[in-house]
Structure 1
């Protein structure tokens, strides 16, 4: 089956030709008759063109990955907090003991002390005591008081 990312089958990228199933070899079809006429010359030509097919498949795969990235990034909402914002911290990320499915999933509120450039934040509780380590924005949620 052709790969969705690059439009080629793995066998064609490796050997430069498509595979034939055993049933297809015994039955005269347009494809088998054409192979018999040309023979080994066609195989050598396909093998020589295999490198070009690989390069074209690699180019299509890069385009496919960019398309998937654009699709993903169009739906992802980036969350940024400013110094002084109140946030909730995810219990699972803080290493709290799991309290079951009815237990709280978020703890806080905490105040953002420092906002880094790669979505890293330093937090402090409302009393002013700094919370150890930095926290990623994926582990934080805005607190609305």
Structure 2
């Protein structure tokens, strides 16, 4: 079962990047194991010659895909940081203020 769980994790789009880890590494769309055993419209219509051309084109555009993922991840991190920092209250202590101290 671990193999299937890892496959699902690698083929699920992530919120931070908007892409699947599989597509960011290999630059191609993944096939689920079911499609390898049972032909679907996506796998049966595929022509080997055009498939090679599409894979070559995907490899050429993988850097653009990764750059888009980096920008989206940076925006996502800024959004998360601003949501976290919105609830932070700064406390300034001065000499003479009473504070609770833990005694060991």
Equivalent pairs, count: 91
Residues 70-118 of structure 1, C-alpha deviation per residue, up to 9 Å, x if partnerless?
A: 00000111111122222122x2xx6x1xxxxxxxxxxxxxxxxxxxxxx
Tell me what 1:67 maps to: 79
Superposition TM-score, scaled by structure 1 size: 0.57
Residues 1-145 of structure 1 aligned to structure 2 (within 5 Å): 1-25=12-36, 26-29=38-41, 31-33=42-44, 35-36=46-47, 38-89=50-101, 91=102, 96=104
> If each structure's strand is expressed as a fraction of its own residues, which one has the higher value?
1
**Structure 1: gaps spanning 5 or more residues:** 97-145
4+ runs deviating over 3 angstroms = none
Structure ranking higher in helix proportion: 2
Larger RCO, structure (CA 8 Å, separation 6 or more): 2
Structure of larger gyration radius: 1
